[in-house]
Amino acid sequence: MRKLFAFLAVSAMLFAACAEDNPAIGGTGATGGALPTGGSGSTGSPADCAASDAIPYKTPGSLTIGTDNPVFQPWFAGSGDYGPWKAKPSSGTGNPASGEGFESAFAYALADQLGFSKDQVTWVPLDFNESYKPGPKDYDLYIGQVSHTPERAQAVTFSEGYYDVNQALVANKGTPITQATSIDDLKGYKLGAQIGTTSYAFIQDEIQPDQQPAVFDRSVDVIQALNNGQIDGYVVDAPAAYVNVLIGQAKNGVVVGQFPNVGEYFGAIFENGNPLVDCVNAGIEALKNDGTLADLQSKWLKDITYPVLQ
């Protein structure tokens, strides 16, 4: 899914490493399938690839990255203002230009691979649900917890994965649903999710509850529905679930568990046919190979671990 709105102190993310028998969400550096062996990214460094005259940058000499507004921790952290973004750490919102938070840090590490300095990166706002619609884009690439799906990939071009994502279930403490230990245990409950997300698709395709799930326009509406008792639980990506509960957005919430990964991953997205994707794929591969992605995940996301609801 995506849409994390919550505050997450860095110190809370630096607990003891998880053991293999208590699996963390995601992997040590998302796979998202094999990287291409051809394309402009395979003939030299990612920076050489990105320097090609064939790359149609929105602004010459600048890498323009789109993301949602507001942005939320732990994906985007930091403080201060940047354009329309007004970071409020106490409310869980961040500053995409801070270099703090998993996706902000990833974006700048990727930009460095492509030969751009931090001051050559420009951020532009675009609503998540608009990011994967067909047509011309105001960004060179978009980074904002966008999960690859075959349907979305018909309208935009996805990079290879930079984070493997698991879905998780949040419910109110003391309610019967919190005793669930398997997906089958959830079938009789009223579940909710944000419209257009892979969390909603997971409910429909994997859980297949007896009741039609509730659908909401915004992530805040999903959580409010749980707080109001309108739903028994909601499905969201596991980092979001962790922070929703940690800072009390889900007022009586508890993370019941996470679900097995079903091949879902976050990728950067591009206007269809943009050759920059080859360069970004090469950059992602380099960040996996040198351990950067694993280090960023360890810093910002590593200790988000829950029982697996099989």
Task: Indicate the pLDDT class of residue 41, thresholds 50, 70 and 90.
Answer: very low
User: 167-258: same fold as 23-165+263-300?
Assistant: yes
The two most distant CA atoms of the chain are separated, in Å, by: 60
Q: Is the confidence at residue 24, as pLDDT, over 50?
A: no
Task: Indicate the pLDDT class of residue 39, thresholds 50, 70 and 90.
Answer: very low
Q: Is the confidence at residue 165, as pLDDT, over 60?
A: yes
Does CATH place domain 23-165+263-300 in 3.40.190.10? yes
Q: Which fold has domain 167-258?
A: D-Maltodextrin-Binding Protein; domain 2 (3.40.190)
116-128 pLDDT tens trace? 999 999 999 999 8
174-198 pLDDT tens trace? 999 999 999 999 999 999 999 989 9
* Residues 306 and 245 sit within 8 Å (Cβ to Cβ): no
Per-domain boundaries in the chain: 23-165+263-300, 167-258
Q: What's the mean pLDDT in 65-80? A: 93
More confident residue, 7 or 278: 278
Q: Is the confidence at residue 35, as pLDDT, over 80?
A: no
193-221 pLDDT tens trace? 999 899 999 999 999 999 999 999 988 89
% pLDDT > 90, the chain: 73
Q: What's the mean pLDDT in 20-45? A: 40
More confident residue, 165 or 7: 165
Q: What is the pLDDT of residue 43?
A: 53
Q: What is the pLDDT of residue 249?
A: 87
Q: Is the confidence at residue 287, as pLDDT, over 90?
A: yes
